[in-house]
Amino acid sequence: MLVFDSGLGGLTVARALRRLAAGQVRLDYAADFAGFPYGDWEEDALKAHLVALMGRLLQRSAASVVVIACNTASTVALEALRAQYPHISFVGTVPAIKPAAQATQSGVIGVLATPGTVRREYTEKLVHTFAWHHRVVLHGARGLAALAEEKLRTGKVDGEQLRREIAPAFVQAADGAHTDVVVLGCTHYPLLLPELRKAAPWPVLFIDPSDAIARQALRVMQQARGRKGAAAPLQVALLTGEAAGWTRWELVNLLEGEGFGKIVMLEDA
Ligand code: DGL
């Protein structure tokens, strides 16, 4: 199985996969650091980029299941990827609006995602289908994914910046109803969960979809192969470039710690 993201947010899904199927699935990881962040890309350009990049990744990974562990990519390119690579089972990641609609008591839901994801027709359809009877506040956070990567690198988070990034998702309506559920609509954000809980202006339920995505990916994998497949000792991380702000050593260290014993730079491979 290949887990793909623009950066390191997909590790939240890779970790969940490892928790749920430790040793039973060979997991490769791909990070498109050369394209990160996806949040501000124009829609057609991002779609074309993802379809082309997937072809290069599939030459390096023998995966039959690819998890697009990125809301920004899934909401724009899932259909195009399925059409272009019909032999691959793609599992997408889209904002968890349906569970949020079921969980809210106040009827006010916040969605934190990238500016790209909140603009998508796909996201609008999710709101209309599952949460039409609630108030849904979509907030495109510009720097939150980068803050999550920064936390992975340094262990630190700028609390003030975090508060500013999330504030618009928290609202109090004229009738007094408050946001009580916040969807983490970008795979980077669960990396910040403890800090998000502290920075929230009042307690809310944060919906972290990592486990649900991992379970879905494992179901698809079983259907695709009829069995879970043998674990391979060396799991590969495929990178399209350097991660901004990271030394090669820091990145290798992190990825090895996550279980990726071999790191391949696409341009040198
Ligand atoms: N992790 C990606 C997502 O789930 C977005 C990060 C970015 O590239 O801006 O949307």
Are the beta carbons of 72 and 117 closer than 8 angstroms? yes
> Strand ranges (DSSP E) for 23-107?
28-31, 65-68, 89-91
What local confidence, expressed as pLDDT, does residue 228 receive?
47
Same fold, 2-93+211-268 and 97-208: yes
Are the beta carbons of 63 and 28 closer than 8 angstroms? yes
Higher pLDDT, 162 or 267: 162
Atom of ligand 1 nearest to the CA of 6: 8
Q: For the chain, what percent of residues have pLDDT higher than 70?
A: 96
Cα–Cα distance list, 250 to 150, 152, 153 (Å): 12, 10, 7
**Span 180-232, pLDDT tens digits:** 999 999 999 999 999 999 999 999 999 999 999 999 999 999 888 754 455 55
Q: What is the CATH number of domain 97-208?
A: 3.40.50.1860
Cα–Cα distance list, 261 to 28, 54, 133, 207, 234 (Å): 10, 21, 48, 31, 5
Above 70 in pLDDT, residue 62? yes
What local confidence, expressed as pLDDT, does residue 233 receive?
53
Domain parsing of the chain, residue ranges? 2-93+211-268, 97-208
Sign of CA dihedral 224, 225, 226, 231: negative
Are the beta carbons of 81 and 90 closer than 8 angstroms? yes
What local confidence, expressed as pLDDT, does residue 231 receive?
53
Lowest mean pLDDT segment, chosen from 20-29, 103-112, 239-248 = 20-29
Q: Ligand 1: distance of its center to the CA of 26 in Å?
A: 23
Q: Enumerate the active-site residues.
A: 70, 186
Distance from CA of residue 123 to its chain's centroid? Answer: 15
**DSSP secondary structure code for residue 267 in this structure:** T
Atom of ligand 1 nearest to the CA of 39: 9
Q: Ligand 1: distance of its center to the CA of 240 in Å?
A: 15
The CATH number of domain 2-93+211-268, selected from 3.40.50.1860, 3.40.350.10, 3.30.70.1340, 3.40.470.10: 3.40.50.1860
Find, among 200, 146, 193, the residue nearest to 169 by Cα.
200
| Strand-strand pairing, 28-31 and 65-68 | unpaired
